[in-house]
Structure 1
Amino acid sequence: MPPAGRPLNKLGFLTIGRFDENDPRAGHLETLRMIRLAEDLGFDSVWLRCRHLQHGISSPVAVMAAAAMQTSRIELGTAVIPLGWENPLRLAEDLATVDVLSGGRINPGVSVGTPMRYDDVKTALYPETYDIENFSKDRVVRLLEALRGTPVSSFEGTVGIDTVSRAVQPHAPGLAGRVWYGGGLASAVWAGEQGLNYLTSSVVFTEGGPARDFATIQAEHIDAYRSHHPDPERARVSQGLVVIPTDTATPEQVRKYKAYAESRYARTLSPQGPRGMVFAPDLVGTSEEIAAALYAHAGFERTDEVAFALPFSFDEPDYIQIVTDMATRLGPALGWAPSAP
């Protein structure tokens, strides 16, 4: 994106899809309403977080399937599906099925690594194999191969009335090229080498390097990704900061939004944990103020797509106001134009 004046190419937002444990249907229906609203407002994409054993979307592929049937244009992404919980071959079947149903609008974002709180769940997740599971990037490679149509079976032919394929069915042309990967510096380099798209978020890691501000670290990661991509001009990078425009917010909403950001600000002041986790401050203000902050952000300067993260704990009227201001105020301030219906 920026130098100021270069228009933002794609505008999206990311939601956790939170729900009440005692009424999960209502929360999931709210997420679907937000996706339909996003399409009506001209957003290019909506992204779903994946939250296992929490009160957020645990099955983003299922939610994308429902959303695909209620929309016609908007891209649907995941940010991200942790592959440590998945069988790549089965996930490829699910993603391909939803992509076919959507008309080629799915953007799967994935990550690898040992699942969070693995010791607490491993005997339920992998009762016979929990101590030998491979949580490396091999899972991404397996997923990509399955999506590309690489044979996963040694048999192809007819058995009785059944025709059996060697490759995942259905095949969704182009889906493998819409896979996204997120992570730190090493992941950025690897994603570039693999020709994947690269997701950035509101968290980066210093990885033992010298202390730097969030934007500088994020810019370094994006530069490393592009420098290792076989076609840097085609390489797609999306930024996912927490952004809360207040243009049409009520005074009560403004107080809520500022209190939310202030409650999370202390964690942005120094690296956290052994890997030096660095959080970006939440951006709260008018669209003009937020646009000025983004144009001065070294990470934002290197992207032309965004999937702004919605706060986890707000109410539906708040989300409606925020995404409406994103589309009607903030997007235009960044040179973006809504997509045609």
Structure 2
Amino acid sequence: MTHVDRIARAASVPLRIAVFSHGTEAPPAGRAYRDELELFVAAERLGYDGAWVRQFHFRHDDDPRRGGLPAPFVFFAALAERTSTLRLGLGAVTLPHEDPVRVAEDAAVLDALSDGRVELGVANGGGPETLDVFAPALVGADHDTRRSAFDEQLARLLGALRGETLGTGTARLNPDGSALLDRIWDATLTAESAAIAAARGHGVLVGTTQTVPAEVTAAAYHEALPDGATPRVALSTAIYPARDRDTALREARDGIEAKYAWGESFLPPATTLAEKAASLQLHYGTAEDIAASIAAAPSTRFATQLNVQVEHGYPDYGRRREALALFAEDVAPLIGATVGSSVSGLSAVSA
């Protein structure tokens, strides 16, 4: 399949607009989780297609800001009761930290409670501090060993969802989770993992901080997707709106610096704040600035879904809600999308 064919296939799929969040990094957790729930409720009212969250474990004494959402199924059960149309996207559950059959059970129960709104993302990964707790046998393991372990865990998860017998008896997953098999997504950082996801028929979650450029990952996915398969490429799209680009950089400085410091070892080299923002794929400024920046990004043309992030440097949830409203009302139409009524696009981007 040629480069032009890949772009055409992505452009022929209705573009979805969702919200993505890494979850809270600041205590008290109860208030922060409730604020995050309300942010997603507001997103549904604005017409966003889905809410996606990332699973993070533990806090650390050397950096009390590090933390997040360790139990996304519990969180989404609360969100399911507050919403009626919002897709519930796990982006993603780190399988080396979990029992795959328990993940299948939690996903199936949540899908039943939410009337079929779950999008189940899975990831291979985990740092030494989490593997030491959940999977000590994988601490220090090489790439091939960890890939093999993940493949085995994923096979167990998919087998449970298919209704295969579990263990040595006649036990099967309850409730039935087979509908989820068409809603599996792989979180990827490389072209190799994206191609594997495509061969499986899964969707792919492409982040703002990749070990290779996002367009390389997305292109590899399209290249490997079987003929006739519908592509599912969710591209994380971080924004920071302001009255102009200089103001946006100034206001988002702390968030940009913190995020770049976290990923400096694998992100493109940068020294100025603007370079760091570009390295993080942050789209900032006026609605027109943000739309032009998204349109110019090489990865955008491969996307079938934009997962909008409003996290870099925002002072409070009020500003984050305002940013989501601005994207829905002013940015989305400029890139050929309509929040609340997905259309075939990126017509303005691919032209």
Alpha-carbon shift at residue 103 of structure 1 (Å):
0.8
1:62 to 68, 71, 74: 74
With the length of structure 1 as denominator, give the TM-score of the two structures.
0.80
Q: 1:146 matched to which residue of 2?
A: 160
Residues 1-341 of structure 1 aligned to structure 2 (within 5 Å): 9-18=15-24, 20-21=26-27, 23-54=28-59, 55-113=67-125, 115-118=126-129, 122=132, 124-126=133-135, 135-156=149-170, 166-183=171-188, 184-206=190-212, 217-231=213-227, 233-246=229-242, 255-257=250-252, 260-261=255-256, 267=264, 268-270=267-269, 279-311=279-311, 314=314, 315-339=316-340
The two structures, once aligned, show a CA RMSD in angstroms of: 3.0
Unaligned runs of 5+ in 2: 1-5, 60-66, 271-277, 342-351
Question: Which letter does structure 2 place at the counterpart of 1:45?
Answer: G
Question: Which letter does structure 2 place at the counterpart of 1:270?
Answer: P
Alpha-carbon shift at residue 223 of structure 1 (Å):
2.0
> CA, structure 1 residues 2+258, in 2 after alignment: closer, same or farther (shift >3 Å)?
farther
Alpha-carbon distance in structure 2 between the residues aligned to 1:256 and 1:243: 12
Between the aligned residues of both structures, percent identity stands at 24
Alpha-carbon distance in structure 2 between the residues aligned to 1:246 and 1:279: 19
Alpha-carbon distance in structure 2 between the residues aligned to 1:260 and 1:279: 13
> CA, structure 1 residues 254+279, in 2 after alignment: closer, same or farther (shift >3 Å)?
closer
SS across alignment from 2:91: strand
Larger mean CA deviation between 171-180 and 193-202 belongs to 171-180
Question: Which letter does structure 1 place at the counterpart of 2:161?
Answer: L
Greater fraction of residues in helix: 2
With the length of structure 2 as denominator, give the TM-score of the two structures.
0.78
Unaligned runs of 5+ in 1: 157-165, 207-216, 272-277
Alpha-carbon distance in structure 2 between the residues aligned to 1:332 and 1:83: 37
Question: Do the aligned partners of 1:104 and 1:172 also contact (CA within 8 Å) in 2?
Answer: no
Alpha-carbon distance in structure 2 between the residues aligned to 1:228 and 1:2: 14
Alpha-carbon shift at residue 262 of structure 1 (Å):
6.3
Question: Which letter does structure 2 place at the counterpart of 1:88?
Answer: P
Alpha-carbon shift at residue 20 of structure 1 (Å):
3.6
Alpha-carbon shift at residue 225 of structure 1 (Å):
1.1
Question: Do the aligned partners of 1:261 and 1:284 also contact (CA within 8 Å) in 2?
Answer: no
Question: Do the aligned partners of 1:73 and 1:105 also contact (CA within 8 Å) in 2?
Answer: yes
> CA, structure 1 residues 151+243, in 2 after alignment: closer, same or farther (shift >3 Å)?
same
Alpha-carbon shift at residue 228 of structure 1 (Å):
1.7
